[in-house]
Structure 1
């Protein structure tokens, strides 16, 4: 668990643990403390965002995002491949510095990274899930409703 009180004040248990795992501060093979212990210790230290429910959800998300695995005792253990190499961490720092310098939004940087990653992997058409935002219920073409009504005089019948 992170001893830096200010980190918990701004970020929840997921963000704190994910950042520590990816950066290597929590090394591969580390067994995370039980959710109840983590929550109790954080609450004692005055961290309002570390309820048991929040910690359990954070541990599930760490597992879902392949940062941890469950051992035979169902404890959360940091995956061997979850820690990013220093070269990647340095590249992220460089990217974020450049984005801040050019006032680029973090959301746009993430989207561009995901799309570029898809293109590099040879996926010409990224999954629909890669795009956030509402879908047009009319589909890709202009739709005025007349084409569904055979009684409409403009609708060709033969």
Structure 2
């Protein structure tokens, strides 16, 4: 398990990624406030680049790679949102993105990854297959692994 980022890590991530992401709106709904008996806030990350909050963490992680490490590209495993976010962040940095996706990943997610320039390698839809294929890609490419949720740089950015 990854060590949790500090508040300073989160602030620094925000500074680092702010030019690369949308400042999405924060909305309220009086009817839902009344139903919940509390003030509710909705952060519209569906309006974020790549369509999810994953763009924040992926961008933060890719931007923090050293030049030599980044030149070899990045490797990740994901069924969709993180995959697209990594592919987009890698393209913005001018580096390759090697994405391991399960063979049953939605076609729309695969097209998004490819549209951002990600190179997809499909695997059987189970965790062991994902890890095996990712390990092989890491060995072949020398790329940096950016785990979708067990990475302090991803967490700090999200």
Indicate the TM-score class for this superposition, using the shorter chain for normalisation. under 0.3
TM value normalised by structure 2:
0.25
* Structure (1 or 2) with the greater strand fraction: 2
Higher relative contact order (CA 8 A, sep 6+): 2
Structure of higher CA gyration radius = 1
TM value normalised by structure 1:
0.25
